[in-house]
Amino acid sequence: MALLEIKEVDRNVYEQELKDFLPDKIIDIHTHVYAKKNRIAVPSQNKRTVVWPSLVADENTGEQIQEMYRLMFPGKEVTPMIFSSIRRGQDFALNNNYVAEISRKYHFPALYYSRPEETEEELEQQVREGGFLGLKSYLALAPEYLPEKEIRIFDFFPKHQLSVADRNGWIVMLHIPRDGRLGDKVNLGQLLEIEENYPNLICSLPYGLVSQHFNSQEF
């Protein structure tokens, strides 16, 4: 069974409207990689996890990503920044190791999916051993006693982890929590604190906005 059906109308739109508009080399900066064999169903005790992607694809392997780019962007060279998608109760080591394996196999840049309770020493060891370029985490990994609307950046990317990222010049893929997102005063305050105290980390805000020191310098 084909991964994705490309219809005649799709080919026409691509050839007539997209092919010449798109660059020959494309960087897909936000790509989740996961294999169904490595994931277990975990009942959610809160509503902090986005669930719609699992309705689209129950797995997104390295091989499927390659095939998807071939089908959707013929004639283009697409390089993804890859990382896992892991919930509490699932095997973080198993899923991160799978991402590292795909990264080595296809020469894709990759990020380590971190948990806020990991120490600086643990993060440095895992990132170096896996060949990762930095960290990815998500607000759902903040302590479960926190209501979703009260989660702050430092609840899932604590300061000791930002310190090790700063020391190593790592990328940090940062989701912005809270309903106001970039308009929220708590978020803005913590972003400015990151700017001031961790100048060497490279912060990426999904999807595709990458900046250093939050001032649009070129990555």
**What integer pLDDT is reported at residue 57 of this predicted model?**
79
Q: Is 121 exposed, middle or buried, given 0-12, 13-18 or 19+ CB atoms closer than 10 A?
A: exposed
**pLDDT band per the 50, 70, 90 thresholds, residue 82:** very high
Mean of all residue pLDDT scores within the chain? 89
Q: Is 201 exposed, middle or buried, given 0-12, 13-18 or 19+ CB atoms closer than 10 A?
A: buried
**What integer pLDDT is reported at residue 52 of this predicted model?**
66
Domain definitions of the chain by residue range: 25-40+49-110, 122-219
Average pLDDT over every residue of 108-122: 98
pLDDT digits (tens, 9 = 90+) for 158-213: 999 999 999 999 999 999 999 999 999 999 999 999 999 999 999 887 644 433 43
Average pLDDT over every residue of 113-128: 98
